[in-house]
Amino acid sequence: MAEMNLTLVTEFLLIAFTENPEWALPLFLLFLFMYLITLLGNLGMIILIRMDRRLHTPMYFLLSHLAFMDICYSSVTVPQTLAVLLEHGAALSYTRCAAQFFLFTFFGSIDCYLLALMAYDRYLAVCQPLLYVTIMTQQTCLSLVAAAYVAGLFSALVRTVSAFTLSFCGTNEIDFIFCDLPPLLKLTCGESYTQEVVIIVFAIFVIPASMAVILVSYLFIIVSIMRIPSAGSWAKTFSTCTSHLTAVSLFFGTLIFMYLRGNSGQSLEENRVVSVLYTAVIPMLNPLIYSLRNKEVKESLRKILNRAKLS
């Protein structure tokens, strides 16, 4: 029996939401709807930024990359979830599971870095308005985004290699919507301390480091705004940051709940709900957050719609 339990896993079986087959079709339609809205919303945001010259600014340049990452981020996980729901479970080879984990970590890390860069951009716009144009040049923006991509690639490579040099044995069932770290760690056997330390260390360079940049940036922004005597000017200045703060709160709130808690007390149901939030719901909401709470985007969208009516 012990020998059987130590059989090495060569493929993984995703079984999330399969315990209630009657919910498979409604959940499939819900995930499909959210995925289509995610694709249309984020693609629409990218096209809008490209078409309107008024949106050719550093903030919207970063936002266009965030929208692109949300499309990639969601596309790594949601189609797999649809397959699990449609087929009442899906088998993934060891290599395919590792590839999914790498891509999810890669796009998720870049998302974190882009949100941090957007906070830094807001800090410069509010606290250093006279130097903003000279600091945030096109070359600087390209360099910052390239650095985010390289850092995301490095982090994803190290975390994937560390995770998949672990030994997986016994059951191969993952009661989750994709190959993510928390459910994978539950399948490990043997010594895994070194790999887990490496994974945690590199996670610190992504989530807490990005959050530190965001918190420090907004601390300076708040201090700067407090010096403005007029309450109306205070509200107008801070309104440029509300969309970003909303996106940051949603994204990092779910990541902290998922990845920076201790393993003890983690509920499988809670983990699945949170995973749906950061893989399907938040990428869908981001275009709405940045369009509904942003005057420039709304005006640009209205202008393009009016132009389309006239033609």
Task: State pLDDT tens for residues 205-225.
Answer: 788 899 999 999 999 998 888
Distance CA 109, CA 115 (A): 10
Closest CA to 153 of 103, 117, 195, 196: 103
- The pLDDT value given to residue 112: 94
Look-up of token digits 């998922």: 258
Tell me if 112 sits within 8 A of 206, measured CB to CB. Answer: yes
DSSP state of 170: S
- What is the residue-averaged pLDDT of the chain? 85
Identify the helix (H) or strand (E) that includes residue 208: helix 207-226
Angle at 90 between CA 87 and CA 95, to 5 degrees: 155
Distance CA 237, CA 269 (A): 41
Look-up of token digits 């640009």: 300
Angle at 94 between CA 90 and CA 99, to 5 degrees: 90
The contacts of residue 39 (CB under 8 Å, 6+ apart) are: 71, 74
In terms of Cβ atoms closer than 10 Å to its own Cβ (0-12, 13-18, 19+), residue 178 is buried
Q: How far is CA 235 from the centre of its chain?
A: 28
- The pLDDT value given to residue 22: 87
Distance CA 249, CA 10 (A): 38
The contacts of residue 300 (CB under 8 Å, 6+ apart) are: 48, 52, 54, 55
Percent of the chain predicted with pLDDT > 70: 89
Tell me if 16 sits within 8 A of 80, measured CB to CB. Answer: no
Q: In sequence order, what are the beta bridge partners of 14?
A: 90, 174
Q: Look at residue 12 and give its three-state secondary structure.
A: strand
The contacts of residue 88 (CB under 8 Å, 6+ apart) are: 18, 21, 24
The contacts of residue 149 (CB under 8 Å, 6+ apart) are: 110
Q: Write out pLDDT tens, residues 252-300.
A: 888 887 776 655 555 667 777 888 888 899 999 999 888 776 777 878 8
Q: Write out pLDDT tens, residues 122-164.
A: 999 989 989 999 999 999 999 999 999 999 999 999 889 988 8
H-helix segments, the chain: 2-5, 24-51, 58-87, 94-127, 132-135, 138-163, 181-185, 193-204, 207-226, 231-259, 268-276, 282-292, 295-310
Average pLDDT over every residue of 173-185: 84
Q: In sequence order, what are the beta bridge partners of 245?
A: none
Tell me if 287 sits within 8 A of 41, measured CB to CB. Answer: yes
Main-chain phi, psi angles of 167, to 5 degrees: -95, 125
- The pLDDT value given to residue 105: 93
Global pTM reads 0.89
- The pLDDT value given to residue 233: 59
